[in-house]
Amino acid sequence: MTLLSVNDPEAQFIELYDRYYRSVLGYVLLRADPGMAEDITSETFLVAWRRFDKMPEPPLPWLFGVARNLLRNQRARRLRGDALLARLAELNHVAEGDVADRVTDREVALAALGHLREDDVEAVILAGWYGLTPQEASQVVGCSQRTYNVRLHRARRRLSDAIKIELALLAF
């Protein structure tokens, strides 16, 4: 990167920030509300700081690409959140005859979760309740994405087995 002749990365980054902040913010403002745009722009420069030594020349297209990816990720999270809200609203809109069944289903699920190990519960909750992708959830638990996928698969299998046991106990 040929921003400054000084070999001070911090000074070079400050110059990069001063030179391109408005351009990146303008790009993001075309795609997001002002509050989100400022957050996405800040995240873009955080990524730039972390990858400063690998930044291509010229940096502006790369910065736009980072901002675009962050916007896409934010939009996907928002859509997952909207879908979760819709499912919750659907669950709250219960017909009179279904109340007992829903209470029973909830109790069975909670009892089954209570029989799982903490790691299993965390894996299921991160994916099922919070809607995190395997990549995001693996960062939360501090393992590789592949390891998390295996944990989630096993946790779901154990949860399914625990639910079957709880349902069998209810049948007696």
Tens-digit pLDDT string for the chain (172 aa): 455 445 788 899 999 999 999 999 999 998 888 888 999 999 999 999 999 988 888 899 899 999 999 998 888 777 776 776 666 566 555 444 555 555 567 777 777 878 888 888 888 888 887 788 888 888 888 899 999 999 999 988 888 888 888 788 777 6
Please report, as a single letter, which amino acid is at residue 131: G
Give the CA radius of gyration of the chain.
Answer: 23
Q: Is residue 110 part of a domain?
A: yes
List the CATH number of the domain containing 148: 1.10.10.10
Using an 8 Å Cβ cutoff, are 138 and 144 in contact? Answer: yes
Bond from prior residue into 58 cis (ω within 30 degrees of 0): yes
Answer whether residue 90 is part of any domain.
Answer: no
Domain of residue 59, residue span? 9-80
Q: 155 near 163, Cβ under 8 Å?
A: no
Residue 145 in any domain: the answer is yes
**pTM for this entry:** 0.48
Q: Which helix (H) or strand (E) holds 149?
A: helix 145-171
Distance CA(120)–CA(83), nearest Å, equals 24
1 in a structural domain: no
Domain total of the chain: 2
How far from 46 is each of 4, 43, 95, 145, 147, CA to CA, in Å? 20, 5, 49, 23, 27
100 and 160 within one domain: yes
Distances, alpha carbon 59 to alpha carbons 55, 139, 155, in Å: 6, 27, 43
Q: What is the CATH number of the domain that holds 21?
A: 1.10.1740.10
